[in-house]
Chain A
């Protein structure tokens, strides 16, 4: 095999056992890598209905054929497991040297099972893997952990770690790398913590073997040059995703006060231009020439990183209009290893619950100190409210009440776009493969250019089109989608690079077919797990939060706007029809057959009767 290494590294933490498994080219062609490998492994190996925090769950860290080989933004890996937050499929991608090192060490994935008796970390150096004692690291934040490990094993290793949030099994704990690269907001850090696995350190020294190295190098450097020549490139380097604050504000989609409005009165204090005034540097993922992490000084005189999502969720969504304070919250979240989006939604929920008198705690909109204290309380699961808010926001609302303002889909918190006046984006959240997330179909940019308030079929088509490219193509290669989304790099570059790396001759449509196979397989997984786990499956799981249907916007040009329940159901039907699912949102037998998933259909039929 070229491009791929053909090896999986398997680590059983219960037995303290490590071995290498060879796999064949058929699997590579069918699932490509990253998210594709993840769903295949979880489906085959995690017993249906298994406890996500139990020994049977697998933590899968996987890369794809392009990962780690110099080419635009190919320094990412996918971290996946059955999610303790949603009880469905969970994954996230992390930009990290560990992705590059994994390829060089000679593996396409690390598959971790079992639970260690005491805290450990995994050290991989090419063909040698050790499970080492992490007693001294347990309790440390992710920045400190990485420093200690870099000192011990070398600063050129790739390191992934969890912080106290993961150790304490906060359900939206993440996996962190390089003081700011985070991934797995579906609780992948909690899964790692449940296995008592503190970190993974990788050193790889081998050259990846690719089919046509000379031509690959040539095309990759042309692609890098093309990234730099795009009209949006220099501004992207200035502001990165922070430019979206102003963009969202203008379009009335900036999340404000727990997604009650789309316009924030202090937006100017937290936008990309405000950020440029306090910016001291930039940081990014390996192999990327469009790096986008903005480094600023925070309110506690530390260095912190700012991106759109964390400013939207920990800023405007909490009514906090001071960028340095937002940066502090973000830095702490990264040190603790907790999802900034989930944290913003949890604190926003608490603020609204406090305002409505649902809880006794006084946490007012805009109160940075209260937000900081509550965040710490959540991470260390200290007392009452903090302990509860470490669960999914769905569970919190079940316990406290407040379903009407719990901002999530399937238990995963909504990310940075208010959808009162954006039905297409609401659909994108509703049917995302991991629960509410924009990464699969960031449709809003297209939606505001079309008939924005329409519930027409074209929106369902667009959501699926983007899911294939963003959630399928990029998440299997594995490469960062941002040079394509944000800077406008042509997708054909990646198709060419794939062919040169693997020696396979595929066009875009071949990749999109794989993408759709994966989307269907992931959906089958959700249905199987929810039924096997006793929580059942129905189409209401594909509904966006109630607030967007019930409480209209009160500010700006879209005042009065809210989603229409019946029309949204129609839009959902359109999506089901296009992708080949029945009215319950379950893949039809014929659809699974079309994507060569008959084995999946067979298993799924044991849990639910499939429509033809």
Chain B
């Protein structure tokens, strides 16, 4: 299982703050919901297990992906 969590306004675009995907191995962009794909391509910050990654990073069973907009504290 790969856990994908969303932050900030991405939550509103996905409709929930996390999903799980049952694949052994995939690129980040292949497991993101369609509703968020183009926005994510454009501006998402992606972390895999807390470390900077991108849409092409390959993730595996047990990994945690966080997808967030480039928002911030000002």
| Residues of A bordering B, CB below 8 Å | 231-236, 239, 241, 243-244, 246-248, 250-252, 307-309, 312, 416-417, 438-439, 442, 444-446, 448-450, 452, 481-482, 485-486, 556-558
* Nearest CB of B to A315, in Å: 13
Q: Which of A233, A235, A247, A450 contacts B72 (CB 8 A)?
A: A247
8 A-B pairs with least C-beta separation: A557-B50, A235-B9, A308-B73, A244-B73, A232-B9, A445-B70, A241-B73, A445-B72
Q: Which of B12, B45, B50, B73 contacts A252 (CB 8 A)?
A: B50
With contact pairs A231-B13, A231-B39, A235-B8 given, residues A250 and B72 touching in the complex (Cβ less than 8 Å): no
Q: Which of A244, A439, A452, A556 contacts B71 (CB 8 A)?
A: A244
- Cβ of B70: which chain A residues have Cβ within 8 Å of it? 445-446, 449
* Nearest CB of B to A277, in Å: 15
- Cβ of A241: which chain B residues have Cβ within 8 Å of it? 72-74
- Cβ of A442: which chain B residues have Cβ within 8 Å of it? 72-74
Q: Is the CB of A243 within 8 A of B8?
A: yes
Q: 9 pairs across A/B with beta carbons < 8 Å?
A: A235-B9, A241-B72, A243-B71, A246-B7, A246-B8, A309-B74, A312-B73, A449-B70, A556-B50
Q: Which of B9, B13, B39, B52 contacts A448 (CB 8 A)?
A: B52
Q: Is the CB of A235 within 8 A of B12?
A: yes
Q: Is the CB of B66 within 8 A of A250?
A: yes
CB-contacts of B20-43 with A (<8 A): 39
Q: Which of B51, B66, B74 contacts A486 (CB 8 A)?
A: B74
Q: Is the CB of B74 within 8 A of A445?
A: no
- Cβ of B11: which chain A residues have Cβ within 8 Å of it? 235
With contact pairs A232-B8, A244-B71, A438-B74 given, residues A452 and B52 touching in the complex (Cβ less than 8 Å): yes
Q: Is the CB of A248 within 8 A of B52?
A: no
Q: Is the CB of B73 within 8 A of A231?
A: no
Q: Which of A243, A246, A485, A557 contacts B51 (CB 8 A)?
A: A557
**B68 at the binding interface (Cβ < 8 Å):** yes
- Cβ of A307: which chain B residues have Cβ within 8 Å of it? 73-74
| Residues of B bordering A, CB below 8 Å | 7-9, 11-13, 39, 45, 47, 49-52, 54, 66, 68-74
Q: Is the CB of A482 within 8 A of B74?
A: yes
Q: Is the CB of A234 within 8 A of B9?
A: yes
- Cβ of A444: which chain B residues have Cβ within 8 Å of it? 72
Other than the given A250-B50, A252-B50, 8 more pairs (CB < 8 A) read A232-B8, A236-B71, A241-B72, A247-B7, A312-B73, A439-B74, A449-B52, A558-B51
- Cβ of B73: which chain A residues have Cβ within 8 Å of it? 241, 244, 247-248, 307-309, 312, 416-417, 438, 442
* Bound CA span A252–B8, Å: 16
Q: Is the CB of A232 within 8 A of B71?
A: yes
- Cβ of B69: which chain A residues have Cβ within 8 Å of it? 232
* Bound CA span A467–B7, Å: 27
* Bound CA span A573–B15, Å: 46
Q: Is the CB of A485 within 8 A of B72?
A: yes
What is the predominant secondary structure among interface residues of chain B facing chain A? loop
* Bound CA span A485–B70, Å: 9
Q: Which of B9, B51, B72 contacts A244 (CB 8 A)?
A: B72
Q: Is the CB of A486 within 8 A of B72?
A: yes
With contact pairs A244-B72, A244-B73, A556-B50 given, residues A231 and B45 touching in the complex (Cβ less than 8 Å): no
Q: Which of A236, A243, A445 contacts B7 (CB 8 A)?
A: A243
Q: Which residue of A lies closest to B39 (CB)?
A: A231
* Bound CA span A449–B45, Å: 6
Q: Is the CB of B7 within 8 A of A250?
A: yes
- Cβ of B68: which chain A residues have Cβ within 8 Å of it? 247, 250
Q: Which residue of A lies closest to B44 (CB)?
A: A449
* Nearest CB of B to A88, in Å: 22
Q: Is the CB of A247 within 8 A of B74?
A: no
* Nearest CB of B to A332, in Å: 21
Q: Is the CB of B74 within 8 A of A308?
A: yes
Q: Which residue of B lies closest to A271 (CB)?
A: B7
Q: Is the CB of A236 within 8 A of B9?
A: yes
- Cβ of A449: which chain B residues have Cβ within 8 Å of it? 45, 52, 54, 70
- Cβ of A309: which chain B residues have Cβ within 8 Å of it? 73-74
- Cβ of A236: which chain B residues have Cβ within 8 Å of it? 9, 71
- Cβ of A250: which chain B residues have Cβ within 8 Å of it? 7, 47, 50, 66, 68
* Bound CA span A450–B53, Å: 9
- Cβ of A308: which chain B residues have Cβ within 8 Å of it? 72-74
* Bound CA span A408–B64, Å: 35
- Cβ of B13: which chain A residues have Cβ within 8 Å of it? 231
* Nearest CB of B to A185, in Å: 13
- Cβ of B9: which chain A residues have Cβ within 8 Å of it? 231-236, 243
Q: Which residue of A lies closest to B50 (CB)?
A: A557
* Bound CA span A444–B51, Å: 14
Q: Is the CB of A445 within 8 A of B8?
A: no
* Bound CA span A450–B73, Å: 19
* Bound CA span A485–B73, Å: 9
Q: Which residue of A lies closest to B48 (CB)?
A: A557
* Bound CA span A246–B70, Å: 12
Q: Which of A233, A235, A445, A557 contacts B49 (CB 8 A)?
A: A557
* Bound CA span A232–B50, Å: 23
